[in-house]
């Protein structure tokens, strides 16, 4: 089983076990559907199951959840600062869609097939999602926006991404 991080619990809200979370998943309607299964890691690093009782969205990536297993502030407080996970499930994806985690360790090339570097992480900034790339040439780290202008092809099976390079993009 492979787990995907979908949120981080930020704080409690009220007395009935509601929590405020920062969501990193693009499948909120599936992840937070009543009865949906999520996981958190306990103090031993073991994944523990929890089930969604209710979900509401305030704005952007801030969401409010309650869990069937935690019905009071006292019970849910130990979860503050914990990450929530879901099982990786490819049936949620449409054709030519993939999880960000599938991009990690992919090799990036320019349009002339010259190797640029390797993706180390995916960063979600307020304005965009960016690929964190460790450059082959000098081991420095750069960020390239993950959008149609820069990303020309993604080949998940071969872990290869083609990037449109403009002047100054690879400079630090």
pLDDT averaged over 10-residue windows placed end to end, the chain, 172 residues:
87 92 82 92 92 88 92 93 86 74 90 94 79 90 90 90 88 72
pLDDT score for 99:
78
pLDDT score for 8:
93
pLDDT score for 172:
67
pLDDT score for 156:
86
pLDDT score for 133:
93
pLDDT score for 122:
86
pLDDT score for 101:
80
Residue 126's φ and ψ, nearest 5 degrees, are: -60, -40
Q: What is the mean pLDDT of the chain?
A: 88
């Amino acid at each position: 089983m492979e787990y995907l991080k979908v949120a981080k619990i930020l704080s409690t809200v009220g007395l009935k076990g509601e929590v405020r979370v920062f969501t990193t998943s693009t499948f909120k309607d599936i992840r937070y559907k009543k009865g949906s299964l999520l996981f958190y890691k306990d103090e031993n690093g073991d994944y523990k199951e929890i089930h969604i009782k209710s979900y509401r969205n305030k704005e952007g990536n801030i969401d409010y959840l309650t869990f069937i297993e935690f019905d009071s502030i006292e019970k849910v407080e130990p979860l503050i600062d914990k990450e929530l996970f879901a099982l990786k499930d490819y049936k949620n994806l449409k054709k030519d869609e993939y999880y960000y985690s599938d991009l990690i360790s992919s090799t990036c090339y320019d349009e002339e097939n010259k190797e640029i570097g390797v993706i180390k992480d995916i960063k979600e900034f307020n304005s965009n999602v960016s690929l964190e790339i460790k450059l082959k040439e000098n081991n420095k780290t750069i960020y390239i926006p993950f959008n149609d202008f820069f990303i020309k092809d993604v080949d998940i099976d071969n872990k290869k991404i083609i990037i449109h390079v403009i002047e100054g993009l690879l400079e630090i």
